[in-house]
Amino acid sequence: MGSPKPRRTSSLVEDELVEFIRGLVENGIEAFGLRDDAALVEVSGAGQLVVSVDSVVAGVHVDLAVCSPGDVGWKALMGALSDLAAMGAAPLGALIALCVPGGAGDGKMALGVMQGVAEAAEVSGCPVVGGDVSSSPELFVAVTVLGTVAHTEGDEDGAGARSDRARGPVPRSGAAAGDAVLVTGPCGASAAGLRELRAGAHEGAAGLAYRRPVARLREGALARRCGAHAMIDVSDGFALDLHRLADASGVGFRLDEVPVAADATLDEALGGGEDYELLVAVGKGELSAFLERFDAEGLRIPLQVGTFLADSEVRLLGDQELERLGWQHRLG
């Protein structure tokens, strides 16, 4: 309970575990708790820091029957990084609050989670700069990410880079009537993967999409530099997240199609979530240049799936109203 009974520390405790974690993931982790009371992040140039926090709770956000602790760590960091991707920001660092059930055997679960965090950190180029570990009745991971739009990879290459650099973070609220609705890839693979894992298929590409999703950091940064008007990541579901972007922008939309990932159903594509593809609003006049830049930089070319409309009441997939399918926490 935080305090009142002082006690001698004899078995593996917090300080020792933190030392373990530091040794385990030295490449990915520059600092993890205890070394000082707080960690330091270098910020080059004054300006706006882009920050976000995301939580993963076992039994709520992840199913430990089909995910390893390492998968949980990976998913937690990638989920937070996807919020930076959706702003077009590049990661500067992450802080991990890790709470693990006691009695799990020498902090094995904590080490497993942090191994997955470190792997995702390496793939994303996002150092883990700080963290905190404690005991808890449930596995709980909260990841805070810090990012910047001041200097992102690729700013210096290609034509028009100088003017690109001045572009700020991309909000949800910038979509205008007539803008194209783009998505960086098909959706539903994560939900399909979870379904397959639960059916007993513990390997394969589909399960991988659920256990090891990848934040679209390069795509988001390029979309920002190319003048995207609005952006959101598909974290809770294509339909719900598109509605949120439209709500924030005060516009409607008509979708011609929804790209469905291999093995996924339309419902999984619309409401599954955790795909981390980006939904992007791009001005019609800028569209072809936008798509060409993705091609030129070797990224998958976004798909145009519809158009934003002035009437914010109109939210259509073909001729049908698009329901707000997706994951939301029911708290009431």
Looking at residues 135 to 154 of the shown chain, list those that interact with a second copy (rule: CB under 8 A): 135-138, 140, 142, 144-147
Is 276:82 a contact under the CB 8 Å cutoff? yes
Nearer to a second copy, 159 or 239 (CB): 239
Write out the two tokens for 230: 């609005």
Alpha-carbon torsion, ordered 82, 86, 89, 90, to 10 deg: 30
Residue 6 burial by Cβ neighbours in a 10 Å radius (0-12, 13-18, 19+)? exposed
For residue 39, give the amino acid letter.
Answer: A
Q: Cβ of residue 295: shortest distance to a second copy, in angstroms?
A: 25
Q: Check binding of 321 to a second copy (CB under 8 A).
A: no
Nearer to a second copy, 234 or 296 (CB): 234
Nearer to a second copy, 129 or 160 (CB): 129
Separation in Å, CA 309 to CA 12, 99, 178, 242? 59, 45, 6, 13
User: Hey, which residues between 219 and 248 contact a second copy (CB under 8 A)?
Assistant: 231-233, 237, 239, 244, 248
Give the integer Cα–Cα distance in Å for 75 and 215: 10
Nearer to a second copy, 8 or 298 (CB): 8
- Which residue from 115, 152, 184, 190 is in contact with a second copy, where contact means CB under 8 A? 190
Give the integer Cα–Cα distance in Å for 216 and 86: 8
Strands ordered across the beta sheet of 128-135: 128-135, 90-100, 140-148
Q: Check binding of 281 to a second copy (CB under 8 A).
A: no
Residues 55-84: x/- map of binding to a second copy (CB under 8 A)?
x-x-xxxxx------------------xxx
Question: Which of 34, 2, 31 is closest to 16 using CA atoms?
Answer: 34
- Which residue from 77, 78, 89, 260 is in contact with a second copy, where contact means CB under 8 A? 89
- Which residue from 27, 163, 288, 328 is in contact with a second copy, where contact means CB under 8 A? 328
Is 143:89 a contact under the CB 8 Å cutoff? no
Nearer to a second copy, 160 or 221 (CB): 221
Q: Check binding of 255 to a second copy (CB under 8 A).
A: no
Q: Cβ of residue 255: shortest distance to a second copy, in angstroms?
A: 16
Q: Cβ of residue 103: shortest distance to a second copy, in angstroms?
A: 8
Which residue is associated with the tokens 């070797």?
A: 298
Stretch that binds a second copy, among 118-126, 176-184, 270-278, 294-302 (CB under 8 A): 270-278
Q: Check binding of 46 to a second copy (CB under 8 A).
A: yes
Q: Cβ of residue 302: shortest distance to a second copy, in angstroms?
A: 17
Q: What is the helix (H) or strand (E) element at residue 210, kind and residue range?
A: helix 205-211
Give the integer Cα–Cα distance in Å for 92 and 69: 24
Q: Check binding of 200 to a second copy (CB under 8 A).
A: no
